[in-house]
Amino acid sequence: MPRSICFATSEFTPFAKTGGLGDVAAALSAHLHREGHDVRPFLPLYASLDRGGRDFQPVPFLQGIPLQMGRFQLTFSVFTTQLEGGLLVYFVHCPALYGRESVYGSDWDEYLRFGALCRAVIESCQRMGWAPDVFHCNDWHTALLPLYLRTVYAWDRLFERSRTVLTLHNLGYQGVFPRQALGDLELEAHRELFYQEDLQAGRINFLKTGLLYASVVTTVSRTYASEIQTAEQGMGLEGLLRRRRDSLLGIVNGVDYQEWSPEKDPLIPHSFSAEDLAGKAKNKQALQERMGLQVEPKLPLLAIVSRLTAQKGFDLLFDTLAPVLARGRAQLVALGTGEDRYADFLSWIAKTFPGRAAFHHGYSNELAHQIEAAADIFLMPSRYEPCGLNQMYSLRYGTVPIVRRTGGLADTVELYDPEADTGTGFVFDHFTPVGMGWALDFALRTYHQDPEAWKRLQIRGMQRDFSWQRQGKEYERLYDLLAA
Ligand code: ADP
Ligand code: GLC
């Protein structure tokens, strides 16, 4: 049955993306729209928004709307643009909050930027006269929305039947702010609804508050859903998550194969498929030339495309990567931005092994596609990984992933078994250089010694189906359950 879903998010590809949340917001919304649901995504109209030459129309009845946030009298307007499939995306325009260089920041008013987003979304629905079956919130940025519905907007019968979903894409970011923020968030009068221990310690936590008040909590893989109930991975929220385990659900992310398919990817020089891998070798040569690597068709090309943060586990490469490059067993291409210690390490590797290793320190969607298309092995040794998309993109492009058995990586990559000739990648258990070294050596040995087995391994991965067509059904079932 068609449902109405208000999708509140801080990222939406291609307009605003820093990681997988943008991809998931866009692809899941597009999928739900195709399936006939009335889905309306809302995100801020950041100054840095990539408009891609699209026309943005003001929504006539959503202009100049006053929004009192404690000491601040704000005004917002809503703009919309229509995507190819017909989906309308809504943008909250409020230059005082979103007229900044980047999507996220470290300014003092970060809480205000996203608290106001939650309220602007609700106020827009009111003025649309629209009562969504479900408000689907994502990460800490929109986690206050369920609480706003039951406090500041409790008077509005329009939302009487609306339920809320909070999807956890990453517990590493919780939105923790000084307690004084309550006034500006218009929630001082409702302080008893916040986690009292936090208040006593002088802070509030957006994500925790969302966990308390969302009708249902989901996260983006089954394994992560159980991991976050433990002290190792719960990041302080494990107790609360355990208490909510009956309404905590793991739904593995899907892949947008419109964007990520080597058969029809306009960003790669040569298309290819599981039936014909010839184009992949040509992409490898093209990338080696572009990145200043020696053109070596027979040398395995290792790849990294990532935010460079502790989450991604690249510490494990500090000891394991250089020996492999020094012995001439592989080449490396890396793309990423983030923390200096990883960027410095990758720059050092590139400088130490010219022609054998290259690092592009930056963000480039085009290069990300070309790397997936060209590389032989993808490195994702994450410390933790709620879902991860790059390993699934890699599988589709015949780029065999090396992953740590955690979160969504554990749910989507199966360990290669040479005897049974099964599996899709190399999976190691322990977050240690020894674990990483074992997987790297296993992969390189297989590549060098058994090209036929390697090809079968690639093809098995390419044939796996992680489409939203499949994964989206679980969200649809959840919305049905909530609406009933
Ligand atoms: P996370 O959301 O934790 O960063 P995911 O694997 O879910 O991890 O998603 C990462 C997304 O961001 C992928 O689409 C990946 O291609 C993209 N990405 C990350 N870093 C870069 C970069 N430097 N340039 C281009 N794309 C990047
Ligand atoms: C987060 C996670 C990543 C996940 C993405 C989309 O950024 O780190 O694992 O794939 O969100 O859900």
Do domains 4-254+468-483 and 278-463 share one topology? The answer is: yes
- State which of 221, 255, 390 you would mutate to test the pocket of ligand 1, scoring each by most atoms of that ligand within 8 A of its C-beta: 390
Residue 155 tokens read as 């008077």
DSSP-derived letter for residue 193 is G
Instruction: List alpha helices for 228-277, DSSP H.
Output: 238-243
Q: Which CATH architecture has domain 4-254+468-483?
A: 3-Layer(aba) Sandwich (3.40)
What atom in ligand 1 is closest to the CA of residue 337? 23
Helix (H) or strand (E) holding 373: helix 365-374
Nearby residues of 41 by Cβ (< 8 Å), 6 or more positions away:
7, 8, 9, 12, 25, 26, 29, 87, 89, 90
Helix (H, G, I), strand (E, B) or coil at 93: strand
- Which pairing describes strands 400-404 and 377-380: parallel, antiparallel, or unpaired? parallel
Q: How far is CA 193 from the centre of its chain?
A: 29
Cβ–ligand 1 distance for 19 under 6 Å, the answer yes
Packing angle, helices 278-290 and 365-374, rounded to 10: 130
Of the candidates 136, 138, 155, the residue with the CA atom closest to the CA atom of residue 215: 136
Cα–Cα distance between 478 and 289 in angstroms, integer? 48
Centre of ligand 1 from the C-alpha of residue 231, in Å: 27
- Which pairing describes strands 4-8 and 134-138: parallel, antiparallel, or unpaired? parallel
DSSP-derived letter for residue 68 is E
Cβ–ligand 1 distance for 335 under 6 Å, the answer yes
Q: Which of the ligands is closest to the CA of residue 408?
A: 2
CATH code of domain 278-463: 3.40.50.2000
Is the CB of residue 385 less than 8 Å from the CB of residue 405? no
Q: Which residue has the tokens 């608290």?
A: 115
Print pLDDT tens along the chain (484 aa).
899 999 999 999 999 999 999 999 999 999 999 999 999 999 999 999 999 999 999 999 999 999 999 999 999 999 999 999 999 999 999 999 999 999 999 999 999 999 999 999 999 999 999 999 999 999 999 999 999 999 999 999 999 999 999 999 999 999 999 999 999 999 999 999 999 999 999 999 999 999 999 999 999 999 999 999 999 999 999 999 999 999 999 999 999 999 999 999 999 999 999 999 999 999 999 999 999 999 999 999 999 999 999 999 999 999 999 999 999 999 999 999 999 999 999 999 999 999 999 999 999 999 999 999 999 999 999 999 999 999 999 999 999 999 999 999 999 999 999 999 999 999 999 999 999 999 999 999 999 999 999 999 999 999 999 999 999 999 999 999 999 8
The count of residues in the chain is: 484
Q: Which of the ligands is closest to the CA of residue 406?
A: 2
Q: Which of the ligands is closest to the CA of residue 24?
A: 2
- State which of 104, 257, 307, 342 you would mutate to test the pocket of ligand 1, scoring each by most atoms of that ligand within 8 A of its C-beta: 307
CB atoms within 10 A of CB 56: 14
Q: Would residue 355 be called left, alpha or beta, if left means φ above 0 and alpha means ψ between -120 and 50 degrees?
A: left
Centre of ligand 2 from the C-alpha of residue 223, in Å: 13
Centre of ligand 1 from the C-alpha of residue 390, in Å: 7
Cα–Cα distance between 185 and 196 in angstroms, integer? 17
- For the chain, the structural domain boundaries read 4-254+468-483, 278-463
pLDDT tens figures, 191-200? 999 999 999 9
Cβ–ligand 1 distance for 371 under 6 Å, the answer no
Centre of ligand 1 from the C-alpha of residue 361, in Å: 13
- State which of 139, 265, 361, 389 you would mutate to test the pocket of ligand 1, scoring each by most atoms of that ligand within 8 A of its C-beta: 389
Is the CB of residue 210 less than 8 Å from the CB of residue 143? yes
Give the predicted TM-score (pTM) of the model. 0.96
